[in-house]
Amino acid sequence: MKFLHLLSSEASQNITFHCLSDPVNYSKDKFSSTGSMQRDESKPRFIGWNRHINPDTLLEPTLIQDECKIQDGSWHQSHFFFHSQDSRRLPVVEIQEFPPSLLHYQQHIEIGPVCFL
pLDDT score, position 105: 72
Q: pTM score, two decimals?
A: 0.76
Angle at 24 between CA 23 and CA 25, to 5 degrees: 95
* Band of residue 30 on the pLDDT scale cut at 50, 70, 90: very low
What span, in angstroms and rounded, lies between the C-alpha atoms of 46 and 62?
A: 12
Domains of the chain (ranges; CATH) run 2-22+41-116 (2.60.120.1000)
